Amino acid sequence: MGFRDHRGAPLTGADANAVALYETAVCQFNCYVGDPVATVDSAIAQSPDFAMAIALKAYLLLSGMERAPGAQAADLLARLHDLKLNDRERRHAAAIACLIDGAFNRASERLDDILIEDPHDIVALQMGHLLDFYRGDSRNLRDRVARVLAEWSPQMPGYHALLGMHAFGLEETGDYARAEESAHRAIQLNTRDGWAYHAIAHVMEMMGRYEDGAAFLRGNEAGWAPESFFQVHNWWHLALFHLEADQTAEVLKLYDGPIRGGESATVLDMVDASALLWRLKLRGADLGKRWEAIADRWQPLIEDKLYAFNDCHGVMALLGAGRMAEAERSVSIMTETARKQSDNALMSRDVGLPLARALLAFEQGKYAATIDLLRPLRNIAQRFGGSHAQRDLIDLTLLEAADRGGETGLVRALANERLALKPKSPLARRYRERGTKQAA
């Protein structure tokens, strides 16, 4: 008799112990807690031909948008091709092949095809959700989950993760009240659902509720931080709340502590660190040697043009550390990448490259050029992925360039826009005052 996963899908090559380990890994992935790669490795050691365990490991390696783990995923795909797969597993192998090829949009569609056949395939759903995030597809962040949610019941294992994902999609599409409600329901079902806490942090960020956001994250640290491989990002969100409150010392304490204290070599963590330092730099903060340390981490990845969103954060770090030649080299490799035919080439062409050029111009004090590059970019920047909160860095850089460049009217207009969304924002109020004073 063949084994099935906890949502009823048949599994090739598994035994009971391996299924239990696989389900533990899925739960860890759902909550972003523990070490799902190690757990799924144990499942594979137990049952070497366990197709979905091999597929899950490949997805986990590919989920960080990094070059080296992607190479390991190719070996896993070869192993999948040697197995006698069922239809669902074959579809997963096809989606993994697309991801390895950098065909992010096609992979996204293939994962959706799996979900149309089996709406309970939570691995396909979560991997699709992450891809929607990386592709900046806010509608699908919400609607990929909505397409399956009605097929689930709250008693099914992993239901909390659907609510957490739906919450993030609702937030990215501006439905903040429903987002908050859905995320709280997720947390009620599973207090370790790191993605659900994250969705609430985003709601607070978008609404400018920085005091509520800091209180929420501080008060629920036991839920989202311990043993979480996503915790750096939630610490980053906490740092943004403190930054909005002008508590620079607290931001630096978080940076030196949970955000960067572990000197993580994970690119997602490096992205957060670089983005936080850039925001501090825009405010004129003294950052000491911090740029040097993070630039050292990016330096070996300069040639590694897999994902334009990451590349831009690498450029920030190199510029922050004063390594203009390396930053220019990175931009020139991005220029070559943008000429190719791939999803990332498009992302680079539309957003990554003009943003990287704008960052270079800003660093060189060419504020008019920075403004010219960023203004057409800000409303299409979702094409290179990330969240609204992450892409806010573009608006912040534009505001500061306008201020430094003496473009008073633009400062005032952008501050007005920001205050309409975040009426309590001290930063937006400050820019409004500056725009007003200069105009007087």
Which positions lie near Fe ion, rule CB under 5 A? 387
Give the span between the Cα atoms of 121 and 344, in whole angstroms. 27
Smallest distance, Å, CB 329 to Fe ion? 29
Asked if residue 234 lies in contact with residue 31, where contact means CB atoms within 8 angstroms, the answer is no
Smallest distance, Å, CB 286 to Fe ion? 26
Give me the amino acid identity at 189.
Answer: L
CB-wise, 203 or 346, nearer to Fe ion? 203
CB-wise, 344 or 387, nearer to Fe ion? 387
Is the four-CA dihedral 351, 354, 360, 362 of positive or negative sign?
Answer: negative
Asked if residue 171 lies in contact with residue 151, where contact means CB atoms within 8 angstroms, the answer is no
Give the span between the Cα atoms of 255 and 244, in whole angstroms. 15
CA dihedral 89, 35, 155, 124 (to 10 degrees): -30
3: three-class secondary structure by DSSP: strand
Smallest distance, Å, CB 307 to Fe ion? 16
Residues belonging to the chain: 440
CB-wise, 12 or 231, nearer to Fe ion? 231
Give the residue at shortest CB distance from Fe ion.
387
CB-wise, 334 or 389, nearer to Fe ion? 389
Quick one: three-class SS letters along 193-215? CHHHHHHHHHHHHHHCCHHHHHH
Give me the amino acid identity at 324.
Answer: M
| Helix H or strand E segment including 171 | helix 159-172
Smallest distance, Å, CB 241 to Fe ion? 12
4: three-class secondary structure by DSSP: strand
CB-wise, 370 or 387, nearer to Fe ion? 387
Give the span between the Cα atoms of 108 and 113, in whole angstroms. 9
CB-wise, 314 or 386, nearer to Fe ion? 386
CB-wise, 99 or 199, nearer to Fe ion? 199
Give the span between the Cα atoms of 323 and 408, in whole angstroms. 31
DSSP alpha helix (H) spans, 190-283: 194-207, 210-219, 221-224, 231-244, 248-254, 267-282
Smallest distance, Å, CB 133 to Fe ion? 9
Smallest distance, Å, CB 198 to Fe ion? 6
| Helix H or strand E segment including 36 | helix 36-46
Smallest distance, Å, CB 297 to Fe ion? 20
CB-wise, 126 or 387, nearer to Fe ion? 387
Collect all residues with Cβ–Cβ distance below 8 Å to 97 and sequence separation of at least 6.
77
Neighbour tally for 302: CB within 10 Å: 19
Smallest distance, Å, CB 389 to Fe ion? 5
CB-wise, 59 or 197, nearer to Fe ion? 197
